[in-house]
Structure 1
């Protein structure tokens, strides 16, 4: 990707995502994606937010250039790139429309899970359709009282004399109106066997699948997030994503790469800074030059440093994805990026003055989207707990080792 087209704060992150991609064709593809985002995603962002629904035109344009098949091997019609490349695409889209980027991010999570743990039938049936964008995928983990680590999942995969049957209700599932496939986390209850959590592939065309409620969200309004109900869904062994009892391990694997809402936060933070600069310099229609104001200048400078720091953390997390502490590092990235987006957007709203609260300017949308990224799973309070557990576990181990040596 040409550095002349990049804001300087993005360069380390983009370089980390493209590490190892020396193929000129791959580089050219990312330039094409940037053009598509500018021409076909950005113009619909306001309507996506206002109407709380994904843009058909934007999704079709992304399909046309193969965005949904970034990680899918070439033999299935995909681009055969990696999770780092997928992370860059999410960030690129989030700079223009965070709601659309959220749908894409969860799709990539399912593609990754299908590649590593899907049955042969799932790979043969889904991967080509994922690559073409014919099928968009979503995940369903959360429940009202599932608790830390989703240990109290009430959605049940029960084995009867007629086979497996799935029943339950999931909340805060993103991308429901456009999803053709959903990976559902359930508690398996096999007849006469050991129970445990497991992911199940569900076709949304099944008559027992419904989404009775899409939430009127404050931010990420066009992400299609709502409640998913599952009633008497027939399931075969080929629909299981990994063996029974593997649900927890697959959730942990999901946290080992940066395909999390921190990417949305990066894009939102950068977009907020760019918009505020345009407003404060009077370059956007209906705005006036405010850069002679010391408070405005100070706020813009501090915001620039915060945005650059968040992108640097993102570059660090993306490049360290193969370490044993990757799940903790990606959690720290999500916490850092979402905190930066919230603070930057809040402070810039004050810097631009009353026009920041006018919906005809995108800054108020960035402000709302920034708040949503911290709540999107894994929520920041859960992440904070995970980081604290890692810190204190290391301290306890140090003390135990020290005591044994004394």
Structure 2
């Protein structure tokens, strides 16, 4: 039921503008409006705070079906979850009420600020600082690769509160777009997901109340890593949706495209390619859904499954979209067809929320514990 309704909405309201959003590198406001009007922009927010109370699998299905037609648009529900999940996991009830309710009621969007110019895979090497000043903290630093920066109203920011403790000296805060001293860099000129703005976030003597700290001082890095255990699954869902969209389009094309007097779908070489693509998509789906179940139950092997699902699904998406372009031949290489966009969009799923090389490190560490 959920899948059917999201797919219908995505095809009617989001798909028609997907190519223009990519071509013009503009935020998909049409998608945001449609998702918010149907309470699909942040299904993970608990009912207690005005949300739909959707479980991890519901969030996965929403992201998957939106990504099937437009990867950029799927980052609206995905990043709303990424940015707000630290508040859900570690925030006080007062903080949850203050920030989750506006998100649920479509009055705000959330982003997540972990990476920095010199702290990517080594996130614990961050330099952004938060210094206590009475009942406030003063933040200074630069965050890079921030999805939906400038559009989102709220930002979960990781900052160093005790430089002597490395990861245990990092704390998490909610920063608001309108806080004095917050500004944004120019949008990055990216290969894909062009409709989702990626910008630096500048924090210049940003003074915020101390009660905007998420959890206790020094627990921010642990919260950040726990968040990624859950939200890597949303990237798996995005990759899965992109791959499914490419497979669906390729299947339709080969049935209609004729060469040598018959549809190219009749040729065994094409059939073998489609079979391999479908196997990868379905395997990715099973891994992603299995990881979502573990996310919902907070199982001990979530770290492994979240990393594995993200890694496998994104690798599969890159392979499937590449093969889909190949099946269309020269047409697949043009912007008149959606597959080259899907191929470009798939690439980022192998990179963000931890590169797939980092995912393999994470998995190996879990196996060797």
Is the pair's TM-score, using the shorter chain for normalization, greater than 0.5? yes
| Aligned residue among 138, 144, 149 for 2:117 | 144
- In the alignment, structure 1 residue 368 sits paired with structure 2 residue 341: no
Contact 1:172 1:227 in 2 (8 A): yes
How many angstroms apart in 2 are the aligned matches of 1:238 and 1:121? 9
Structure-2 separation of matches of 1:77 and 1:159: 32
Relative to structure 2, which stretch is displaced further, 363-372 or 125-134? 125-134
Distance 2:363 2:90 in 1: 27
Stretch moving more, 74-83 or 60-69: 74-83
**Secondary structure at the counterpart of residue 36 of structure 2:** helix
For residues 230 and 378 of structure 1, do their structure 2 counterparts lie closer, same or farther at Cα, with a shift above 3 Å needed? same
Select which of 309, 325, 349 maps to 2:325: 349
Secondary structure of residue in 2 paired with 1:172: strand
Larger Rg: 1
Question: What secondary structure is seen at the aligned counterpart in 2 of 1:264?
Answer: helix
Aligned to 1:291, what secondary structure does the other structure show?
A: helix
Match of 1:219 in 2: 192
**1:279–1:289 CA contact under 8 A, matched in 2:** no
1:6 match: none
Residues 304 and 53 of structure 1: CA distance in aligned 2, closer, same or farther (over 3 Å): same
Measure, in 1, the Cα distance between the counterparts of 2:293 and 2:285: 12
Write the distance in 1 (CA, Å) between the matches of 2:121 and 2:346.
Answer: 24
CA distance in 1, matches of 2:142, 2:62: 31
Indicate if the aligned counterparts of 1:295 and 1:351 stay in contact, CA closer than 8 A.
no
Q: How does 1:2-401 map to 2 (within 5 A)?
A: 31-146=4-119, 148-160=121-133, 163-189=136-162, 196-258=169-231, 259-282=233-256, 289-321=263-295, 322-391=298-367, 393-394=368-369
Kindly report the root-mean-square deviation, in angstroms, between the aligned alpha carbons of the 2 structures: 2.2
Q: CA deviation at 1:203?
A: 0.4
Question: Aligned residue pairs: how many?
Answer: 360
Gaps of 5+ in 1: 2-26, 395-406
Q: Quick one: distance in 2 between partners of 1:137 and 1:387? A: 28
Question: Which one is further off, 309-318 or 238-247?
Answer: 309-318
Q: Unaligned regions of 5+ residues in structure 2, if any?
A: none
- Give the secondary structure class of the aligned counterpart of 1:255: helix
What is the TM-score normalised by the length of structure 2?
A: 0.91
| CA distance 1:250–1:371, change in 2 (3 Å) | same
Distance 1:345 1:67 in 2: 26
- Provide, for residues 326-367 of structure 1, a one-character-per-residue CA deviation record: whole Å limited to 9, x for no partner: 011110000100010111111222222110011011011111
> How far apart are the structure 1 equivalents of 2:120 and 2:39?
37
Counterparts of 1:31 and 1:350, CA distance in 2: 29
Shift of 1:61: 1.3
How far 1:83 sits from its partner (Å)? 2.4
Partners in 2 of 1:115 and 1:142 — Cα distance? Answer: 21
Moved more, 34-43 or 137-146: 34-43
Q: Which runs of 4+ in 1 moved over 6 A?
A: none
> Deviation at 1:95?
0.8
Contact 2:22/2:194 (<8 A) preserved: yes
Offset of 1:254 from its aligned partner?
1.2
Q: Contact (CA 8 Å) 2:114, 2:158: kept in 1 or not?
A: yes
Gap change, CA 1:257 and 1:189, over 3 Å in 2: closer
**Distance apart, 1:143 and its partner CA:** 1.0
TM-fit CA distance, 1:77: 2.2
SS in structure 1 at match of 2:263: coil
